[in-house]
Amino acid sequence: MEGARQNDIPGIDANCGGACACSTCHAYIDPAWFGALPPMDDMEEEMLSFAYEQEPGRSRLTCQLRVTDEMDGLVVTLPLRQA
């Protein structure tokens, strides 16, 4: 989420600034990568339920993902709109 905001990537609204309180940083993770990411905690899972067209097994809130070197090549797409 921070990377998208700092690089003017459209489609990540992040209205709550990363507090896991809005779901407007929703993105779809490529299925090949989804299992390689840290698991969701209860707060992210609950907030994700408010995201626009969230899909179990693909959807994450990007403010809850800390980017690491191991994520080099991660493929992420965005929903048509945020909630």
Is 83 a binding residue for ligand FES by CB under 6 A? The answer is no
Query: What is the CB neighbour count within 10 angstroms for residue 45?
Result: 15
Q: Toward ligand FES, which CB reaches closer, 32 or 38?
A: 38
Query: Are 77 and 28 a contacting pair, CB within 8 Å?
Result: yes
Measured from the CB atom, is 32 or 61 closer to ligand FES? Answer: 61
Phi–psi pair at 27, nearest 5 degrees: -145, 160
Q: Does the footprint of ligand FES cover residue 51 (CB under 6 A)? A: no
- Residue 32 has which token pair? 């090949």
Q: Pattern 4-43, binding to ligand FES, x per CB under 6 A?
A: ----------xxx-x-xxxxxx------------------
3-state helix, strand, coil in the chain (%, to 5): 25, 10, 65
Residues that bind ligand FES (CB under 6 A): 1, 14-16, 18, 20-25, 47, 61, 63
